[in-house]
Amino acid sequence: MTSVARNRLTEAAYQCLPGGPLDINRAFYDQVAATAVSAEALRTTVEKFILPIRSGKAWEVRKGDICRIVAVEGAQVGDLNIWSLHNPRERFWASRTRQLQRAHISVYDRLWSTLPYLRPLVTITGDSLKDYGINGSGIDAEGGRIHDLLGTRCDPYVNRMLTGKDNDYHCHSNLTRAIVPYGLTEFDVHDVLNVFQCTGLNDKDQYFMKTCPAKKGDYLEFIAETDVLCALSTCPGGDLSKAMWGEGSAESTNADPTLECCRPLGVEVYRLPDGWLVERGWKEILPNGTAYQGRHAMKEVPFSIS
């Protein structure tokens, strides 16, 4: 096998032609990001709140609005869910986003929705940790990267399985409580984007979680490509500097050493001036799935007897 062939086989499996849905207009999204530091008052505040430790909250972000998640007091992991506001069957699809974008996301990456809708729900426009790692490469000496899509939310069922004890404040439970006011249930909670979480795979191909490197003021922000409902949990492991399971964990010591690792997160939602986005060519991204008309080969097939 030639070196050219080997390189091809290790390139991204999902690609598209220039100008396709994976080839976004970076200059436009740079302009969106720049509205945060513009000398003019371009952004107006729609909503701001602080999410306390070990809790969850849901909120709406309208199409074209910008949402920023902030480490207001220092390192803290947040577990994020996103749905189409008007159709919660359409929700963020972590595994497809890993394939179309990457396993740890940053600026210009998009969070894609489930079938049969298949569209970007949001696009990342700002990330204060985008230059994390060795020489700004995004990866540290142990293979850790930020804003994780490899893992998912912690939950009370795994906790019970591993420890034999109950804990009602895992991210799955926090998100479940958060979405009740919107008529959703536990069955609507899905795989998450682990905001500020530093993870990777070790030499045994096993998932690891490192101490969160976020500092006070660090943020991740995105623009909503359609109306969305977001829900965020402040992880009960806090900055993940102490074990949640196994030797040395709270369950093994009958204490709660991770409590001191927990900090709140801030959420900020902003709106740009009327017409600002449209003047620059932006429009709501509609579902791609409607273009498919094959009905999975379930159309009536005529048969005849010869």
pLDDT in tens, the chain (306 residues): 445 556 778 888 888 888 888 899 999 999 999 999 876 779 999 999 999 999 999 999 999 999 999 999 999 999 999 999 999 999 999 999 999 999 999 999 999 999 999 999 999 999 999 999 999 999 999 999 999 999 999 999 999 998 899 989 999 999 999 999 999 999 999 999 999 999 999 999 999 999 999 999 999 999 999 999 999 999 999 999 998 765 545 454 456 878 999 999 999 999 999 999 999 999 999 998 888 888 888 876 666 665
**Looking at the domain assignment, is residue 97 inside a domain?**
yes
H/E element holding 232? strand 228-234
Bridge pairing between strands 78-84 and 193-201: antiparallel
Which pTM does this prediction carry? Answer: 0.92
**Looking at the domain assignment, is residue 206 inside a domain?**
yes
Model pLDDT, residue 1? 43
Retrieve residue 14's tokens.
Answer: 């999902």
**Looking at the domain assignment, is residue 289 inside a domain?**
no
Retrieve residue 112's tokens.
Answer: 């894609």
Q: Name the residue range of residue 26's domain.
A: 14-283
Nearest to 76 by CA among 129, 122, 40: 129
Structural contact between residues 176 and 80, judged by C-beta atoms closer than 8 angstroms = no
Q: Strand locations in 27-138, DSSP E?
A: 44-51, 56-61, 66-70, 78-84, 87-91, 110-112, 120-127
**Residue 22: C-alpha distances to residues 14, 47, 288 (Å):** 9, 30, 13
d(CA 233, CA 157): 17
**Looking at the domain assignment, is residue 178 inside a domain?**
yes
**Residue 120: C-alpha distances to residues 236, 267, 287, 295, 303 (Å):** 29, 21, 8, 23, 41
**Looking at the domain assignment, is residue 291 inside a domain?**
no
**Looking at the domain assignment, is residue 8 inside a domain?**
no
**Looking at the domain assignment, is residue 305 inside a domain?**
no
Tally of domains in the chain: 1
List % helix, strand, coil for the chain (3-state, nearest 5). Answer: 20, 25, 50
How many residues appear in the chain? Answer: 306
**Looking at the domain assignment, is residue 3 inside a domain?**
no
